Amino acid sequence: MPLTQPDFSFFRRLFPTQPLIGFDLGAEKLNMVQVDFASGNPVITSAISDYHNSDYAGLLEHPELLQKLVKSTLKINGFKGRKVVASVPTALLKIIFLNYQCKAQGVESQALLEALKHRTRENLSDYVIDYISVNPQSTEQVNRMALVAMVKHEAVESYLDLLISCGLKVEALEIGPLAIKRLVSVITPPDQPQKILVINFGAKKSYLTVIWNNELLLDREIDFGLDKILTAIAKAFDTNIQTALEVLHRYGLADHQVEPDDLVLDEDETSIKNVLIDILSPNFQSLADEIKDVLIYVASETRGGAVELIYLMGSLTRVSSVDQIIDRLISIPVKTINPFYGLELDDKPLHFDDLGPLAGIAVATGLSMRGKF
């Protein structure tokens, strides 16, 4: 039943110690990861990344498509149980960084709600709402900031019905930035500072998330995604989007001048690679400008602090050498994230070739460790 008031605890349900499955239903692929614990250390026991060949609206209209995929996935890949922590699809989700004021004796949730009403002009009783404080050390201050997640009640109910119809037991819903924050905390060595920008590439939009000493400092949506890249290629080569995608995956974005010495490219292949880089240079320069804006914001919020590492994840990481392109535009080390870095793997073999780039299952890996870190 719809709630009459926003439910601030919706994304924070506690769940039992049985290992859970991180369930990330992306725009193109279903990503699932299960992490168990041995002597307190995380162990990857199962992982899959598979195309669902539909969009979210299509899966709601034809749930049997997802039901079949989930059933075969659970059976073939040896996942334990059916309990999942699921990401909220970005198509349903509205994320806002909200500035608000709360006096020393005030109720934070009430103050936040009042500010949210003025900011959105929405009927908040129509939404499931959760929030996390940004820079929680400053909670004694009157001026505060929070990351607010909003999803309409009917959208949440439809999504839960879809997952339940797949035989899943949903222990919690969670937003991507929190799963990313948890994952970064786990894979960052203790002797390294957590001053990290994560770029999560989507099809139409991408998201810049700043993790600062294990706290969320920023999550910003930008108008940059794989679709924009493919459109530029298709226009330049006078072809369709599917062919543009095939060209991009076949040739990648590596500059032949920085290719390994033992890799010899023929003249045509080198020419195509260089043409691709030339075509996409304006798009990547636009991305670099967005990144620089974030770096300026971080410096202002941290009194001169600086991001020390950029992680890439999401759709565009399937293209070879995209990290090299961005690295040359930004004076900060850029790496494609490896969500299994430093984690143990179960004795049974995981077929990494079937997962695609591991960066694509980063959110699912972070989801699977909810409540443990």
- 220: in domain: no
- Which single residue is written with the structure tokens 């006096």? 103
Q: Residue 102: pLDDT above 90?
A: no
In DSSP terms, 97 is beta-bridged to: 147
Nearest Cα to 287, choosing from 202, 199, 371, 162?
A: 199
pLDDT of residue 259: 45
Query: How far apart, in whole angstroms, are the C-alpha atoms of residue 144 and residue 135?
Result: 8
Q: Which amino acid is at 55?
A: D
**How many whole angstroms from its chain centre is CA 356?**
16
Residues 128 and 14 in one domain: yes
pLDDT of residue 201: 93
N- to C-terminal Cα distance for the chain?
Answer: 32
- 154: in domain: yes
Residues 365 and 306 in one domain: no
- 204: in domain: no
Residues 324 and 362 in one domain: no
Residues 95 and 108 in one domain: yes
- Which single residue is written with the structure tokens 């070879």? 320
Number of domains the chain contains:
2
Q: Residue 373: pLDDT above 80?
A: no
Residues 326 and 373 in one domain: no
pLDDT of residue 368: 95
Which CATH number is 13's domain given?
3.30.420.40
- How much of the chain, in percent, has pLDDT values that exceed 90? 54
Query: How far apart, in whole angstroms, are the C-alpha atoms of residue 21 and residue 341?
Result: 19
Structure confidence by residue, pLDDT tens digits, 47-69: 999 989 899 999 999 999 999 99
- The more confident residue out of 373 and 199 is 199
Structure confidence by residue, pLDDT tens digits, 299-337: 998 889 999 999 999 989 988 889 999 999 998 999 999
Domain of 310, in residue numbers: 226-335
- 279: in domain: yes
Q: Residue 129: pLDDT above 70?
A: yes
Residues 164 and 18 in one domain: yes
Query: How far apart, in whole angstroms, are the C-alpha atoms of residue 15 and residue 31?
Result: 21
Residues 236 and 347 in one domain: no
Query: How far apart, in whole angstroms, are the C-alpha atoms of residue 367 and residue 95?
Result: 18
Residues 139 and 25 in one domain: yes
Residues 296 and 307 in one domain: yes
- Name the strands in the sheet holding 334-336, side by side, starting at the edge strand that comes first in the sequence: 215-222, 206-212, 195-201, 309-314, 334-336
- 94: in domain: yes
In whole angstroms, how far apart are CA 4 and each of 1, 19, 88, 123, 288?
9, 33, 21, 11, 44
Q: What is the mean pLDDT of residues 77-91?
A: 92
* Torsion sign, CA atoms 129, 134, 140, 143: negative
Residues 167 and 246 in one domain: no
- 34: in domain: yes
| Tokens read off for 339 | 């969500």
Q: How confident is the model at residue 137 (pLDDT cuts 50, 70, 90)?
A: low
Q: What's the 3-state SS for the chain?
A: CCCCCCCCCHHHCCCCCCCCEEEEECCCEEEEEEEEEECCEEEEEEEEEEECCCCHHHHHHCHHHHHHHHHHHHHHCCCCCCEEEEECCCCCCEEEEEEEECCCCCCHHHHHHHHHHHHHCCCHHHEEEEEEECCHHHCCCCEEEEEEEEEEHHHHHHHHHHHHHCCCEEEEEECHHHHHHHHHHHHCCCCCCCEEEEEEECCCCEEEEEEECCEEEEEEEECCCHHHHHHHHHHHHCCCHHHHHHHHHHHCCCCHHHCCCCCCCCHHHHHHHHHHHHHHHHHHHHHHHHHHHHHHHHHHHCCCCCCCEEEEEEHHHHCCCHHHHHHHHCCCCEEECCCCCCCEECCCCCCHHHHCCHHHHHHHHHHHCCCCC
